[in-house]
Amino acid sequence: MNIQDLNTSLVSLIQKKQELGKLSYNDERYDDVEEELHDLEDDFNDNYGEYLEDVLGDIHHKINSDTDVLLPTAYLPEALNEDGQVTLTGKQGVWVETEVYPNKEARLVLVPNPVRFILTSGKTAQVVWNSEEA
């Protein structure tokens, strides 16, 4: 797996998602940007989906979660900040049930620079997989 290509694709996908999020439905560019986003998502899942779904399966096992593994694009944050990083909020990523945070809402989010999955609960966040250590 070429992690640099994965990271570049992930950044492009999040930036396109961010671009779409800034447009109103009435914007004449909305449909075109939405189509571009869907194409990027399809390409991302085709190129990296199997690899990342295996990673997610390992993460779910590690955090003792029975929650279903979704397509990797479901785990994306809404935006990147000016430094190319993600400012994590409590509603980004995918809700998971985990024994790491029993009786609390927890979410898994896929972020770039470097590519990693972060498990969040409230203001707590921990990296549960890092491409640099894989």
CA-closest candidate to residue 75, choices 120, 133, 132: 120
The SS3 call for residue 134 is coil
What are the tens digits of pLDDT across the range 6-49?
Answer: 999 999 999 999 999 999 999 999 999 999 999 999 999 999 99
In eight-state DSSP terms, residue 23 is: S
Say how far residue 42 (Cα) sits from the centre of its chain. 14
pLDDT confidence of residue 13: 96
Which position has the token pair 């909020």? 89
Spatial CB neighbours of 55, under 8 Å, sequence gap ≥ 6: 117, 129, 134
Return d(Cα 120, Cα 95) in angstroms, integer. Answer: 9
